Amino acid sequence: MTADSETSDERSPIGAGSTELRMWVRLLGCAKIGEKRLRRNFEEQFDTTLPRFDVMAALYRVPGGLSMGALSRALLVSNGNVTSIVRQLQVQGLVQSAVDPQDARSAIVSLTKAGRARFLTLAEAHHQWIADVFRDFPPERMATLLELLTDLRSLLSKEN
Amino acid sequence: MTADSETSDERSPIGAGSTELRMWVRLLGCAKIGEKRLRRNFEEQFDTTLPRFDVMAALYRVPGGLSMGALSRALLVSNGNVTSIVRQLQVQGLVQSAVDPQDARSAIVSLTKAGRARFLTLAEAHHQWIADVFRDFPPERMATLLELLTDLRSLLSKEN
DNA sequence: CCGCTTTAGTTTAGGTTTAAAGCAAAAAGG
DNA sequence: CCTTTTTGCTTTAAACCTAAACTAAAGCGG
């Protein structure tokens, strides 16, 4: 078992040869499959979407609410994107928006009472779906994976 | 070190408590940050997009070409989605499409000569970006991560 | 006060994505 | 053959997403 006897690679110039590349492709694949599942579940069972859930989750964690910019940074999405998602949640009465008294340009968005109740329902189901997927994953391996992903994230966040 | 002494969880009903949930969130985060980087790089340096690169990569691996359906399954995206991406690549002269002699409904899409040359340029840069990101990741940890992600993917693919 | 720059958000144009509806070729079943 | 169903793909409607242009409030320097 030398360092180089994996599967193929050798002199093929491309073809997902190196370990980094395969790992990256696999990571993206896992994320994509999982997201697909979650999106379908949210759509079918609750008639909502993953991005809207993400916004609600971010707001739930901060009872005082967040500005649009803070939301955008928290969710890693563009500023303009948050605008439309928040607007939809607003139409549904799940979030409310109040002008920041310190800065009239900025609005503080927060969950309404209905929004908090709604989020708890969604989050419960969300947790259950995730737990189901990982039911057969040994806890010790899961801890290792969590640790490695944490390392990876700090690598990715560096030299952005 | 009991089974339950991680960090918080306990009776907080939500808040990304369980290990599965945190792992999942971290995985999505890594994928998102990395994709953002790649997308920006492709945009800035080559004036193209990640999905277009994905299509070209899938076609590069199969010199004989792929049908639209095969492409869609390979890339885990919807059927209709492939249509527009292939059309754009076709306009740029990077892929060509020929009617399947066995089935007149189906078209076999393949890279043109220009498309292959273009892909090699893109893939070289892509590989370099990935290698840069993982430069400081110890090879042994990378191998572990690859293995764990492979396990995870098979869990995710099951009971779809 | 008055310009200049910065900052917070929205709007716009364009690309990605899906599900659902539609279309046409193929296959199946009399 | 001819009808029905299935299958491969495209189109459409709607959501998501980004970058870039824009608006408006703050802040800063005179």
Residue B71, domain CATH: 1.10.10.10
pLDDT tens-digit map of B20-53: 999 999 999 999 999 999 999 999 999 999 999 9
E strand or H helix that includes residue A155: helix A139-157
Helical ranges in B79-138 per DSSP H:
79-91, 113-133
- For position B6, what pLDDT does the model report? 40
Strand C bases contacted by the protein (CB, 7 Å) = 7-13, 15-21, 24-27
Instruction: Say if A13 falls within a structural domain.
Output: no
Between CA B68 and CA B72, with CA B71 as vertex, the angle to 5 degrees is 85
Q: What is the pLDDT of residue B157?
A: 85
* B83 inside domain: yes
Q: Is residue B88 part of a domain?
A: yes
What total number of domains does chain B contain? 1
User: pTM to 2 decimals?
Assistant: 0.87
Q: Residues of B with CB below 8 A from A156's CB?
A: 30, 33-34, 37, 133
Structural domain includes residue A87? yes
Q: Which of B 16-45 lie inside 8 A of A, CB atoms?
A: 18-24, 26-37
| Residue of chain A with shortest Cα separation from B16 | A127
Beta strand A103-111 pairing with A95-100: antiparallel
Reply yes or no on whether the pLDDT at B11 is more than 70: no
Nucleic acid strand D within 7 Å of B107 CB:
yes
Residues of chain A in contact with residue B148, where contact means CB-CB under 8 angstroms, are 141, 144-145, 148
- Is B23–A60 a contact, with Cβ atoms under 8 angstroms apart? no
What range does the domain containing A63 cover?
47-127
Nearest protein residue to nucleotide D7, judged by CA and C1' positions: B105
> Taking 70 as the threshold, does the pLDDT of residue B1 lie above it?
no
Buried b (16+ CB within 10 A) or exposed e, B102-118: eeeeebbbbbbeebeeb
* Residue B56 pLDDT greater than 70, yes or no: yes
Indicate whether B137 belongs to any domain: no
In this predicted model, what pLDDT tens digit does every residue of B63-120 receive, in sequence order?
A: 999 999 999 999 999 999 999 999 999 999 999 999 999 999 999 999 999 999 999 9
Cβ contact (<8 Å) for B27 and A31? yes
Enumerate the residues of chain B whose CB falls inside 8 A of the CB of residue A40.
none
**Where does the pLDDT of residue A4 fall: very low under 50, low under 70, confident under 90, or very high at 90 and above?**
very low
